[in-house]
Amino acid sequence: MDGKRISPIISEETYDFIKKNFHTVNQGTCSILDAIADLSKVPAVQEFDEPLKGIQFIIQGWDVFYRDGVKSLKGVFSEKELGLVHSVWTIRKMSPSPKDTSLLIDEIEDAIVYDGKDKPLKISGKKLLEKLRSLDEIKITFLYIWCHAARRHDNLGGYLSILA
């Protein structure tokens, strides 16, 4: 990794979090600092005199924003449709982030058209694509994040049924 070398002193709680969630403490610390730098580019953050204060507001507000966004998706998709979307976005791992939502939908379309992923599930790939295309970018982003959050749950079927 290119860049400046720093040696921050972090709390035990922060250290334990990083050690638990990243391959190495150094890699975790760098990833977190890079994520904060990405957050600093959000236009709302730039409205604050102190960027850190803007980042804190966004982080504190994200939980409510995300939770409400996920709730708005409840009942839009069947459990089998969610299973297909989940498998494509998490197993294929072609998209590292939800920055271009049209590419995320293209991944689903490729899985349906080229791989026939909808056939064994007995769902209409065409209807699934229509549903995905009817969502705005933020809802696609919520769905993408929600799918990736499933890795923390032992019962994938139970997790998928939350939104079905």
Report the C-alpha gap between 71 and 3 in whole angstroms: 40
Residue 97 structural domain: 79-161
Do 153 and 87 share a structural domain? yes
Residue 96 confidence (pLDDT) above 60 = no
What are residue 44's phi and psi, to 5 degrees?
Answer: -60, -35
Do 148 and 85 share a structural domain? yes
Report the C-alpha gap between 85 and 83 in whole angstroms: 6
107 vs 95, which has greater pLDDT?
107
Query: Which whole number is the average pLDDT over 92-109?
Result: 75
pLDDT by residue (tens digit) across 104-160? 899 999 999 999 999 999 999 999 999 999 999 989 989 998 988 887 777 888 888
Q: In which residue are the tokens 């005199």 written?
A: 49
| Count of domains observed in the chain | 2
